[in-house]
Amino acid sequence: MDITTRMDATHLEVLAMLPEGLLDLSDLQVARAGIDALMAAAPAPDLPTGLVVEDNRVEGFDGHDVLVRVYRPGAPRQNSPALYWIHGGGMVLGDVSMDDAKCAQIADQLNVVVASVDYRLSPEFPFPVPMEDCYSGLAWFFDAAEDLGIDRSRIAIGGASAGGGLAAGLALLARDRGQVSPCFQLLTYPMIDDRDETPSSSEITDTRVWNQDANVIAWNAYLDGGAGSADVPIYAAPSRAEDLSGLPPAIVTVGDLDLFLDEDIAYARALLGAGVPTELHVYAGAFHGSNNFVAHSALSTRWNRDEMEALAAALNG
């Protein structure tokens, strides 16, 4: 599919500015350097006045220290609601700093405490390490609720792309371990199906955005070469879960020019079929990540407003 034929002028202009091969993962170290350079060239975010950002080191399942960054609004509420956020990057790219602006904005606009976890990346650390890092951070967030001034009953989890997939897997893991109970899932174009079998999974080949080749490489990095095999755990690839009952309510958002379109729609339908209250939003003319890359567009403004309103309703209801 030529995604450029279905975009408006604003999205086309921004897409044209992205480097060719930005998400060509055939050489992962080169791709990481390219992403790092792009992020370094971006202006530092202006954080809201009064916002406090603190880094915490949390002991992980294997003794590794997991960094959890906490964003507190200038005038936090007593027993504040909270969001536990997981960054994207296909399980192989990025770090906690890439979503500083987003986490700060949520903390400020919704007057909630936000935590963001810096999980270890694949292929150096394949599943279950990234998931266990995310779980360790979430367990710490719940345990530290009193010290942080947050309400344990109103902690949502969320993420975008790989972060959305990790959040979906984390919801399943939290349900099955029974130690922590998130109240809501914010799943932004989540990466949840390793099998690469849906029609949309093969339609996106443009290397400026998340594409089929990158997706195959990333899943095999995360699953240590086992993507598509019969025994992939549901916590790694939530689309494989046959029982979605007992999960927290969710919102799933995705653009119709995203290779995750079909798997995300199917997952939202499966959540609904399992009795999980779920909103599904599909945005025509949006590519993977465009709500951030083209944040000033009317489409992205509507998308981001939809997510903020759903999160606010879940946390303040």
Instruction: Extract the tokens encoding 176.
Output: 């099955």
Indicate the pLDDT class of residue 238, thresholds 50, 70 and 90.
very high
Which one of 136, 258, 290, 300 is the catalytic residue?
258
The pLDDT value recorded for residue 76 is: 82
Verify whether residue 288 is a known catalytic residue: yes
Structural domain of 312: 3-316
The enclosing H or E element of 16 equals helix 9-17
Instruction: Detail the DSSP E strand segments found in the chain.
Output: 52-59, 65-72, 80-86, 113-118, 150-160, 185-188, 250-257, 278-287
Indicate the pLDDT class of residue 74, thresholds 50, 70 and 90.
confident
Q: Does the pLDDT value for residue 1 go beyond 80?
A: yes
DSSP notation for 218-282: HHHHHTTT-TT-TT--TTT-GGG-S--TTPPPEEEEEEEESTTHHHHHHHHHHHHHTT--EEEEE
Q: What is the CA radius of gyration of the chain?
A: 18
**Contact assessment for residue 264 and residue 272, using Cβ atoms and an 8 Å cutoff:** no
Verify whether residue 206 is a known catalytic residue: no
pLDDT digits (tens, 9 = 90+) for 112-153: 999 999 999 999 999 999 999 999 999 999 999 999 999 999
Percentage of the chain modeled with pLDDT above 90: 93
User: What's the number of domains the chain is made of?
Assistant: 1
- Residue closest to 136 by CA, chosen among 85, 66, 84: 66
Q: Going by DSSP bridges, is the β-strand pair 65-72/113-118 parallel, antiparallel, or unpaired?
A: antiparallel
What residue type is assigned to position 120 of the chain?
R
Q: Going by DSSP bridges, is the β-strand pair 80-86/150-160 parallel, antiparallel, or unpaired?
A: parallel
For CA atoms 94, 288, 290, 41, give the dihedral sign.
Answer: positive
Q: Does the pLDDT value for residue 317 go beyond 80?
A: no
For residues 239-264, give the mean pLDDT: 98
Q: Under 8 Å CB-to-CB from 313, ≥6 apart: which residues?
A: none
Indicate the pLDDT class of residue 41, thresholds 50, 70 and 90.
confident
By residue count, the chain amounts to 317
Rounded to whole angstroms, the Cα distance separating 206 from 1 reads: 9
3-class secondary structure, 24:
coil
Average pLDDT of every residue of the chain:
96
The pLDDT value recorded for residue 93 is: 97
CA 237 to chain centre: 14
Verify whether residue 87 is a known catalytic residue: no
Strand ranges of the sheet holding 65-72, from the earlier edge strand across to the other edge? 52-59, 65-72, 113-118, 80-86, 150-160, 185-188, 250-257, 278-287
CA 78 to chain centre: 27
The pLDDT value recorded for residue 284 is: 98
Indicate the pLDDT class of residue 42, thresholds 50, 70 and 90.
confident
For residues 180-194, give the mean pLDDT: 98
User: What residues form DSSP beta bridges with 155?
Assistant: 82
Q: Does the pLDDT value for residue 168 go beyond 90?
A: yes
What's 293's domain CATH number?
3.40.50.1820
Which one of 288, 290, 297, 300 is the catalytic residue?
288
The pLDDT value recorded for residue 115 is: 98
The pLDDT value recorded for residue 94 is: 95
Residue 18 DSSP code? S
Which one of 116, 122, 136, 161 is the catalytic residue?
161
